Amino acid sequence: MSAALLLLADSRLPAGGHAHSGGAEQAVKTGAVHDLASLRGFLAGRLHTAGLVAAGLTAAACRSAGRSPTPPAPMTWAELDAEADARTASPAQREANRQQGRLLLRVARRVWPSPVLEELALAVPNPHHPVALGAVAHAAGVPPDEAAMAAAYHAVAGAATAAVRLLGLDPVEVHRLLAGLAPDLDAVAERAAAAEVLPATSAPALDLLAERHARAGLRLFVS
């Protein structure tokens, strides 16, 4: 594991991730998430669906940034972003995804200056988060398999932190829950990084939660 990966996954990176709950806020409002057990189910489901897709796109973007011959074949930034768009059915999720991608790219261009990031910013000014994350990982010297891990971790860590704030859960118990998901994180990242075809797993429940959240009058998180 590289030190750059730790920096990239650090919640203190000022890329706006703290403003997004990954659907957890609306899941709490509906009662679907109300305790540690239900939170674990939500996080596991999110990891193996949206998290797998994000990890696959991130690894592919990282490989494409380095023009790696490893399958899937390198794609242009526009092609990668279109693949991400096609895998994000909810307009609300697409907007939140692009907002996070834009903020990450803006911060990373200062932290890890690179021609790759300038190229992405010109080609796709508002990239999906996994596309931006893959490009940033390459700029930071993080290999595709570790970039996939960063994406998988991002898929659950933000939602877990949001649940602590929304439900007043014990942070230690929530971190213990995340520790229990470590084998799943490893498996998802490994599967995503090794995939020769970009994952396309859907999560209709997350799409519905995102659309309900976008229409909510009072909310703590952007998404």
pTM above 0.85, yes or no: yes
Mean pLDDT, the chain, rounded, equals 93
The CATH classification number of 27-68+75-197 equals 1.10.4190.10
Residue 138 neighbours by CB under 8 Å, 6+ apart = 61, 62, 65, 66, 114, 116, 147
Phi, psi of 197 (to 5 degrees): -125, 135
DSSP code of residue 35: S
* Region 67-96 average pLDDT: 88
* Region 1-16 average pLDDT: 80
- Dist. CA 59–CA 5, nearest whole Å: 13
Instruction: Count Cβ atoms within 10 A of the Cβ of residue 218 and give its class: 0-12 exposed, 13-18 middle, 19 or more buried.
Output: exposed
> Residue 12 in contact with residue 5, Cβ under 8 Å?
no
Residue 15 pLDDT: 80
16: left (phi over 0), alpha (psi -120 to 50) or beta: left
For the stretch 155-183, pLDDT in tens is 999 999 999 999 999 999 999 999 999 99
pLDDT at 69 over 70: no
